[in-house]
Amino acid sequence: MPIIPAEILFNKFKQIANQHSMHFIVAEWNKSSIEFYKRRGASDLSLEEGWRLFKIDKQNLLKMTDEE
């Protein structure tokens, strides 16, 4: 997946600003992006609400379907 600079993304977000809110993911190591979004009013839900992102890969999805 290509990495898109934050400024380009933010300009695109302005075009869809009539939305009520937007959720997105930022890698923990990417401190500059975290600060970029915080300066623009983003809330860090992992800290405030305790949310975590999970992924189940294809192999484990298939394993789950075999169990049922």
Tokens of residue 35, six digits: 């600060």
Residues belonging to the active site: 37
Tell me phi and psi for residue 19, to 5 degrees: -70, 155
